[in-house]
Amino acid sequence: MMAADGASDMKPFALEAWSRLRLDQVERALERWVTADANPGCAHAAPAALVEAMRYAVLDGGKRLRPLLVLAAHEAVVSDSSRGAEAALRAACAVELIHAYSLVHDDMPCMDNDVLRRGKPTVHVRFGEASALLAGDALQALAFELLTPEDGSVEPAQQARLCGLLARAAGSVGMAGGQAIDLASVGHTLSEDALREMHQLKTGALLQGSVLMGASCGQPGAQALAALQDYGAAMGLAFQVVDDILDVIADSSTLGKTAGKDADNDKPTYVSLMGLARSQAYAQDLLAQAQQALHRSGLPNTQALAALADMVVNRAH
CA atoms in the 13 A half-sphere facing the CB of 177: 15
The pLDDT value given to residue 189: 86
The stretch 115-141 carries a mean pLDDT of 95
The pLDDT value given to residue 106: 95
Q: How confident is the model at residue 6 (pLDDT cuts 50, 70, 90)?
A: very low
Contact yes or no for 270/280 (Cβ under 8 A): no
The pLDDT value given to residue 251: 67
Using alpha carbons, select from 71, 84, 54, 20 the residue that is nearest to residue 303.
71
**Residue 176 CB neighbour total at 10 angstroms:** 16
Q: How far apart are CA 78 and CA 73, in angstroms?
A: 9
The pLDDT value given to residue 38: 57
Using alpha carbons, select from 243, 234, 231, 308 the residue that is nearest to residue 280.
243
Give the distance from CA 302 to its chain's centroid: 18
What are the tens digits of pLDDT across the range 201-246? 999 999 999 999 999 999 899 999 999 999 999 999 999 999 999 9
Using alpha carbons, select from 113, 110, 149, 116 the residue that is nearest to residue 32.
149
Domain ranges of the chain: 15-35+44-314
Contact yes or no for 289/230 (Cβ under 8 A): yes
Side chain identity at residue 47, one-letter code = P
The pLDDT value given to residue 39: 61
What are the tens digits of pLDDT across the range 253-311? 555 556 556 655 677 899 999 999 999 999 999 999 999 999 999 999 999 999 999 99
DSSP letters spanning 222-262: HHHHHHHHHHHHHHHHHHHHHHHHHHHHS-HHHHSS-TTHH
State yes or no: pLDDT of 317 exceeds 60: no
How far separated are the first and last CA of the chain, in Å rounded?
A: 31
Q: How far apart are CA 281 and CA 208, in angstroms?
A: 22
Q: Where is average pLDDT lowest: 81-95, 100-114, 241-255, 294-308? A: 241-255
> What is the 3-state secondary structure of 124-149?
HHHHCHHHHHHHHHHHHHHHHHHCCC
- Average pLDDT over the chain, rounded to whole? 90
What are the tens digits of pLDDT across the range 12-30? 899 999 999 999 999 999 9
Q: What CATH code is assigned to 15-35+44-314?
A: 1.10.600.10
The pLDDT value given to residue 310: 97
Contact yes or no for 97/139 (Cβ under 8 A): yes
State yes or no: pLDDT of 186 exceeds 90: no
The pLDDT value given to residue 36: 75
The stretch 62-81 carries a mean pLDDT of 94
What are the tens digits of pLDDT across the range 26-48? 999 999 999 977 565 565 778 99
Q: Where is average pLDDT lowest: 35-39, 91-95, 160-164, 291-295? A: 35-39
Q: How far apart are CA 55 and CA 41, in angstroms?
A: 21
- The pTM (predicted TM-score) of the whole model is 0.91
